[in-house]
Chain A
Amino acid sequence: GESVGLHLPTLSVQEGDNSIINCAYSNSASDYFIWYKQESGKGPQFIIDIRSNMDKRQGQRVTVLLNKTVKHLSLQIAATQPGDSAVYFCAENMDNDMRFGAGTRLTVKP
């Protein structure tokens, strides 16, 4: 999983740099994965998803990479902006059972 205990992993980047947020998922049979963004005091917001038959999927400024061999998922954010500051977490699905990671806190420095 992404974190243990009360403290989330953190990532601090400079505005304009690229961000890479990682997620280790637990079930090798999971067939669908989602990345969510959660801003302080708000509900999670869908960013991008990927199916297990794909290795890479691109959206607007975001790319998700899936490595099934090592059960690893990553979210790349290009040209990170202050509005990208949030907690990002991944979710894995198997047989309609969705499991969520705790997340990584991304802070963007101006």
Chain B
Amino acid sequence: NAGVTQTPKFRVLKTGQSMTLLCAQDMNHEYMYWYRQDPGMGLRLIHYSVGEGTTAKGEVPDGYNVSRLKKQNFLLGLESAAPSQTSVYFCASSRGFGGPTGNEQFFGPGTRLTVL
């Protein structure tokens, strides 16, 4: 099992450009998440999905869109990139929601995005 994979690993964009980050998991997990990680700060949830065809906003959703057309894939889109979106983006998946039921989140290796 590959677990959670992310593509690309690195990307440099100019302000105003668009791009899509791809996350794939092979664990048949229902829940998937997109986080951003900035220096000196904890992970912040951008969007998440509780199943194929569903998406929901997290803590910092502005400027991002997501889609979950297939259960194993969760796409994060930036329509018009801004320097404030320079960050490391992590995708995660879990069998259930990361609450007291103990559904561990498995993370991908991250995508380092720089917006100039």
Residues of chain A having any CB pair with chain B under 8 Å: 1-8, 31-32, 34, 41-46, 49, 51-52, 89, 91, 93, 95-96, 98-103
Query: A42 and B110 in contact (CB under 8 A), knowing A4-B40, A6-B39?
Result: yes
* A-B contacts besides A32-B98, A41-B109, 12 pairs, CB < 8 Å: A7-B40, A8-B40, A43-B92, A43-B107, A43-B109, A44-B43, A45-B107, A46-B106, A51-B100, A98-B105, A101-B42, A102-B41
Q: List 8 A-B contacts (CB under 8 A).
A: A5-B40, A43-B4, A44-B43, A45-B107, A91-B98, A96-B97, A96-B98, A96-B99
Number of interface residues, chain B, beta carbon within 8 A: 22
Q: Is B90 an interface residue (CB 8 A)?
A: yes
CB distance from B31 to the nearest CB of A (A): 10
Bound-state CA distance A34–B105 (Å) is: 10
Q: Is B26 an interface residue (CB 8 A)?
A: no
Bound-state CA distance A5–B65 (Å) is: 28
CB distance from A37 to the nearest CB of B (A): 11
B window 57-116: CB within 8 A of A = 90, 92, 97-100, 102, 104-110
Q: 6 smallest A-B Cβ distances: which pairs?
A: A43-B107, A100-B42, A6-B40, A100-B43, A32-B100, A96-B97
